[in-house]
Structure formats: C-alpha cells, structure tokens
Amino acid sequence: MVRKILISILAIFLIIICIGPLIFVIWNSPKTVDEYTMSKFSMPKNPGHYIENFNALIDYGIFKYMLNSLIVVVITITLCAIFSSMAGYAFSKLEFKGKNMIFWTIIGTLTMPAQVFIIPLFVMFSRLDLINNFFSIAVIYSTFSFAFGVFFMRSFYAGIPTELCNAAKVDGANSFDIYLKIMLPLGKPAIVTYSVLCFFVFWNELFLSMIFLRDVNVRTVTPGMAMIKQGVTKLTDWPLIFSAVIPTLIIPIAIYIMFQNRLASGITIGALKE
C-alpha cells in the first residue's frame, strides 16, 4: 500500500515535470511584458491580449513558416515512404547480385552525421542553384533517412511469410504485382509508423534547414522560431514568444496524440529485431 502511494506520487511528479513548462507557456502567453515581468504565476489580467500577440505574429511570418514546413515535410514523407518500402521489399524478398553490398551501402549512412558531408554538399547545391528550394531540401532529408527507412521496412517485410509471394508467383504475378497488390497493403502499418517518425524528425529539424533554406520566404518553422526569438528577446517580450510557440506545437502534438502508441515501438525496432 505504501509502495502504491509512493509510486502514485512519483507518477504525479513526472506528469508535472513533463507538462509544467508547457502549461507555463500557455498561462503566460496572453500577458503584456510588464505583467510578465511583475509576476510569472498570477492570472493573466486580460486573456484577450493573446489576440494582440497573435496579430503581431502574423507580421513575423510564423504561419508562412508553418506552411513551408508542411510542404517540405509532405514531400519528404512521400519520397521516404515510396522509396523505402520498395527498397525494403526488394532487400527482403527478391534475389539479385550484390544484394548485401548494396544494402550495406545504404545502411552504412546511418552512422554519418550531417557534419561530415554538409560543406561539400552545400557548395555543390549552391553551384547548381538548388538552394532555397523546397524540393531539394526534401530530397536531402529523405536521402538522410533512407538508411533507417530501408532497414525498418526490410525488417517488417522479412516478417511476412515468403510463401505468400510464392503462391502469387505460381498464379502468374510478377514481382511488381506482388509488391503493389500484396506487400504494399500489408506494409501499411509500418509505412505509417515510419512516416510519423519522419514527420517529427523533419518538422523539428534546424541545422540543414538553416543552411539550405536561407531566404525568408522559404524558411521553415524551426529556424523561423529561432529567428523570431533572436529578434524579440532583445526587447525581452517573452509573452510574445510564448504566443508564437503555441501554434507551432498544434500539429506535432495532434500527430503525437494520434500515433503515440506506434512511436516507442517504431523507434526501438532496430534494437529489438536483433
């Protein structure tokens, strides 16, 4: 019984630690600078002030940044899902020369941090005039995640019995029919999990986005927030920054709530499939 109570206290403590900072942000976003300076925990005197902060944000371009992020992430996920599932299928169910070598060439990039290729890549892309382009950053993002995606999809398809493919082959289906009509529908849950993981990685990405999307018109939400913060903190208008944080969290938190059960298992699949 004592143990039960202690564990409950621990659980409550963890909940407070995890959502406390977020509640603080929401609580203080409708305040004015003076109000926030005076007291961090008092009731906001005029919740309507949030509208004022909100209007200021439109000028800062936060919604345009969110739209840009959405475009980049959707292109990225589409590329990732199509190519990783096809490659995962090929590596798990088809036979061809050099299979292992090609597989490890792709998987080997898992260990590469962006720092080891970013500079020549940036120079190459700026010479080809591919900077400030949604499609080129989406291609870089998806290439960056192929290693995980191919591994993930291969592990999933490896669990589907090969007899299924053989039966279809006997009925005269070719390998692409098998992919399209059997493997792709069966692979849907894995593709969704992988897409959700990609969403979080690339919606939140800062380093590459800052380097490859330099123009303010194509800036995505993460660098956008960093720039807004740098512009605003000189005036120490923390409530304004809090107001900016709230809309940027709506999409990720909605996706998190929808798919939270898939996340932990998705992230650890590599470790558990050993």
Partner 1 sequence: MKYNALMNRKPTNAFNYLYFIIPLFLVIVILYVPFFQSIYYSFTNWNGFSEPTFVGFKNYIFLSENTHFINALKNNALISLSAPFFIIIPLILALLLFNNKSPLLKSARMMLMLPYAISMTIVGIIFKALLQFDGPLNVILEKIGLGFLAIEWLGRPGTALFAIIMTAFWKEFGLSTIIYLTALSNINQDILDAGRVDGVNRFQEFIHIILPQLNPILVFLVTMTLIADFKTMFDYVFNMTAGGPGFATETMEFLLYNEAFKYSNMGFACTIGLVVFAIVIIITYFLIKFLTRRD
Give the interface segment with partner 1, choosing from 59-67, 70-78, 185-193, 257-265 (CB under 8 A).
Answer: 257-265
DSSP annotation string for 86-149 = HHHHHHHH---TTHHHHHHHHHGGGG--GGGTHHHHHHHHHHTT-TT-HHHHHHHHHHHHHHHH
Q: How many residues bind partner 1 (CB under 8 A)?
A: 94
> Would you count residue 203 as binding partner 1 (CB under 8 A)?
yes
Residue whose entry in the numeric block shows the structure tokens 């909605």: 254
Nearer to partner 1, 150 or 218 (CB): 150
Among 75, 140, 190, 191, binds partner 1 (CB under 8 A): 140
Tokens of 41: 């925990």
Calpha distance 1→7 (Å, rounded): 10
Among 56, 70, 131, 139, binds partner 1 (CB under 8 A): 139
Calpha distance 230→211 (Å, rounded): 17
Q: Which residues of 1-21 are buried (b: 16+ CB within 10 A; e: fewer)?
A: eeeeeeeeeeeeeeeeeeeee
Closest contact distance (angstroms) between CB of 70 and partner 1 is 14
Among 2, 34, 48, 115, binds partner 1 (CB under 8 A): 115
Closest contact distance (angstroms) between CB of 187 and partner 1 is 13
> Would you count residue 250 as binding partner 1 (CB under 8 A)?
no
> Would you count residue 206 as binding partner 1 (CB under 8 A)?
yes
> Would you count residue 113 as binding partner 1 (CB under 8 A)?
yes
Q: Count H helices and E strands in the chain, helices first.
A: 14, 0
Per CB under 8 A, contacts with partner 1 among 33-92 are: 37, 40-41, 83-84, 86-87, 89-91
Give the interface segment with partner 1, choosing from 42-50, 52-60, 140-148, 184-192 (CB under 8 A).
Answer: 140-148
Nearer to partner 1, 7 or 58 (CB): 7
Do 212 and 140 form a contact (C-beta atoms < 8 A)?
Answer: yes
Among 71, 175, 186, 262, binds partner 1 (CB under 8 A): 175
Residue 179 CB burial class (10 angstroms; 0-12, 13-18, ≥19): buried
